[in-house]
Amino acid sequence: MSAVADTHNQEHHHGPAKGISRWLLTTNHKDIGSMYLIFSFAMFLLGGSMAMVIRAELFQPGLQIVQPEFFNQMTTMHGLIMVFGAVMPAFVGLANWMLPLMIGAPDMALPRMNNWSFWLLPCAFLILVSTLFMEGGAPNFGWTFYAPLSTTYGPPSTTFFIFAIHIMGVSSIMGAINVIATILNLRAPGMTLMKMPLFVWTWLITAFLLIAVMPVLAGAVTMMLMDINFGTSFFDASGGGDPVLFQHVFWFFGHPEVYIMILPAFGAISHIVPAFSRKPLFGYPSMVYATGAIALLSFLVWAHHMFTVGIPLAGQLFFMYATLLIAVPTGVKVFNWVTTMFRGSLSFEAPMLFAVAFIILFSIGGFSGLMLAIAPADFQYHDTYFVVAHFHYVLVPGAIFGIFASAYFWLPKWTGNMYDETLAKTHFWLSFVGMNLAFFPMHFLGLAGMPRRIPDYALQFADFNMVSSIGAFMFGVTQLLFLFIVVKCARGGEKAPAKPWDGAEGLEWTVPSPAPYHTFTTPPEVK
């Protein structure tokens, strides 16, 4: 059939257009959600292969595989791609798919902008990844790109990196506006704010965080751009500028950013745990308030990343207290999940396995966060592998396991087929073992004194590094299994009913599986 006829078809809203134009021009939240998820997984593999390079070099002492310059490019690109390419787009993908289904809306509120905010992303990452092939190499100053290493001393490709960050920021802000507009305007009649599913709540709060801090990041990179290309001295001490200012601005973005990467996972886990415990979520209102409290406090703790830069004592104390405080609402969330499980009727399908691992391992990351919050102790931990262990414990079993749990939970709804449970459990156990083998020893390395971001290390660190590398390879290879499971599920399998999980609640389970191309064209009634 010709393309002309296809477009015609679409105008009559019988279903998706055929061919490439379906994906390029689509305004359908399900198509866009799928594209986000696929893009994010591709970036996960790319960022992951860079991690493999890092772990291969660190497998034993000495320089074997790469030179220090390239090693620094790998750590930088790995961090940037995982944060901006894998984790954030995955959550936007989940939001696109699930928010309209959860609140009974026909689509996102701003569908054309939705299309645009997705398609900006591949452009941004094309630019970012292309810097690897430029003269002088890719950015090599860490994902935190501290000035003046990234300005006066940065490679020529830094300007492209700045451009890429700008485009990602625009995409994120548009995505966030869309989420807020959808949630505030398109809820089904009867769905008051305090009846909203938790994934909707956490995404609403995340979207506000995004709108608040992405412009700050844009400001930081714009000042860098000026310093590099137009002779200003925002961050250049020899021109009267202030390198520490960079860190304040960066972390004012950076700390809320880490919550941007975890709050939507909190939401998803709050659906999955009750579903497989066959028991309502414990403490719904306190979950909502805790999320709000975390979001507000996240603006007041940024300098806990800067305890060693020499901020005055009073500042140091303030940021220590505020950081300790943020552990309270975080604790409340964990206690609520555990109490939800308590005296439930538990079963352990793949989503639940990932969710339970999420709770345990994320808590371990929270504990190390608490330790890092003690400012005097942070003088010993800061910029060592202990910090690397901390943020990988909150991001891998936190954000990434949260995404896997969500994917398995909603795959039947997306594809209409059940995934292969045995393979999914295998995926879980291999990921679980690999991840702990990779990241737990990093605590020991950091405490024993190994700095982060080094391509080679003293001999006393050799053993744990080797263990860590083996775990990392195991975790890395296992993710190909996930790809296989999803492809297999999309192509066929046991047919899924509208509600494949007997304990699940919510509007998304009232539509058939797979969810039709258009859902809730007339809003459902929520009692």
Partner 1 sequence: MRVHAKRALALVTGLLLPAVVMADWTMNMTPGVTGTSNQIFSLHMTILWICVAIGVVVFGVMFWSIFAHRKSQGYKAANFHENTLVEVLWTAIPFAILVAMAVPATATLIEMYDTTESEVDIKITGYQWRWQYEYINDDFGYFSSLSTPRDQIENRQAKGENYLLEVDKPLVIPVGKKVRFLLTANDVIHSWWVPEFGVKKDAIPGFINETWTRVDEPGIYRGQCTELCGKDHGFMPVVVEAVPEEEYAAWVAEQKEAAEAERQLTQKDWTLDELIERGEKAYASACASCHQPNGAGMPPAFPALKGSPIATGDMAAHIDIVVNGVSGTAMQAFGGQLSEVDLAAVITYERNAWGNNTGEMVTPKEIFDFKNKE
Q: Which residue is nearest to ligand HEM (CB)?
A: 369
Amino acid at 33: G
Min separation Cβ 398 and partner 1, Å:
16
CB 355 within 8 A of CB 272: yes
> Is 153 an interacting residue with respect to partner 1 (CB under 8 A)?
yes
Question: Which position among 219, 449, 506, 523 is part of the footprint of partner 1 (CB under 8 A)?
Answer: 449
Interaction of residue 255 with Cu ion, rule CB under 5 A:
yes
Of 16, 111, 451, 524, which lies in the binding site for partner 1, with binding defined by CB under 8 A?
451
Q: What is the CA radius of gyration of the chain?
A: 23
In b/e form, how buried is each residue of 34-53, taking b as 16+ CB within 10 angstroms?
bbbbebbbbbbebbbebbbb
Q: What residues from 79 to 138 belong to the interface with partner 1 (CB under 8 A)?
A: 135-136
CB of 263 to ligand HEM, least distance (A): 9
- Asked if residue 263 binds ligand HEM (CB under 6 A), the reply is no
Nearer to Cu ion, 139 or 366 (CB): 366
Write down the least CB distance from residue 405 to partner 1, Å.
16
Interface mask (CB under 8 A) for partner 1, residues 182-211, using x and -? ------------------------------
211 binds ligand HEM (CB under 6 A): no
Those residues with Cβ within 8 angstroms of residue 263's Cβ, 6 or more apart along the chain or in another chain: 202, 203, 205, 206, 209, 291, 294, 295
Q: Which entry of ligand HEM, Cu ion, partner 1, none binds 21, CB below 5 to 8 A by partner kind?
A: none
Q: Give the SS3 label for residue 495.
A: strand
Binding at 342: pick from ligand HEM, Cu ion, partner 1, none (beta carbon under 5-8 Å per type):
partner 1
Q: Who contacts 418 (Cβ-Cβ below 8 Å, separation ≥6)?
A: 412, 489, 493, 494, 495, 496, 500
Q: How far is the CB of 172 from Cu ion (least distance, A)?
A: 19
Nearer to Cu ion, 93 or 256 (CB): 256
Residues near 477 by beta carbon (within 8 Å), at least 6 away in sequence:
none
Nearer to ligand HEM, 394 or 438 (CB): 394
Q: Which is nearer to Cu ion, 187 or 255 (CB)?
A: 255
For the annotated catalytic residues, the residue numbers are 78, 107, 143, 171-172, 255, 257, 259, 270, 304-305, 330, 333, 452
Check binding of 402 to ligand HEM (CB under 6 A). Answer: no
Which residue number, 12 or 343, has a Cβ lying nearer to partner 1?
Answer: 343
Helix axes 263-277, 88-103, angle to 10 degrees: 50
Residue 353 CB-density burial (10 A; 0-12 exposed, 13-18 middle, 19+ buried) = buried
Q: How many residues bind ligand HEM (CB under 6 A)?
A: 25
CB under 5 A: which stretch of 186-194, 250-258, 507-515, 517-525 binds Cu ion? 250-258
Query: Considering the complex, what minimum distance in angstroms separates the CB of residue 258 from Cu ion?
Result: 5
Q: Which two tokens stand for residue 325?
A: 């405080």
Options 80, 103, 326, 355; binder of ligand HEM; rule CB under 6 A: 326
Rule CB under 6 A: is residue 72 a binding residue for ligand HEM?
A: no
DSSP string, 434-474: HHHHHHHHHHHHHHHTPBSS-SS--GGGHHHHHHHHHHHHH
429 binds partner 1 (CB under 8 A): no
* Binding-site member from 48, 139, 154, 366 for ligand HEM (CB under 6 A): 366
* Contact criterion met (CB below 8 Å) for 445 and 461: yes
Cα distance between residue 338 and residue 179, in whole Å:
29
Determine if 313 is a binding residue for partner 1 (CB under 8 A). Answer: yes
Q: Are 287 and 339 in contact (CB under 8 A)?
A: no
Q: Which of 336, 267, 257 is nearest to 298 (CA)?
A: 257
Asked if 463 and 420 touch (Cβ cutoff 8 Å), the reply is no
Residues 354-383 that bind partner 1 (CB under 8 A): 356, 359-360, 363-364, 367-368, 370-371, 374-377, 379-380, 382-383
Residues 135-154 that bind ligand HEM (CB under 6 A): 144
Token pair recorded at residue 381: 């931990």
The distance in angstroms from the start CA to the end CA of the chain is 46
| Distance in angstroms (rounded) separating the CA atoms of residues 273 and 94 | 17
Binding flag, residue 496, partner 1 (CB under 8 A): no
Residues at the contact surface with Cu ion, assessed by CB under 5 A: 255
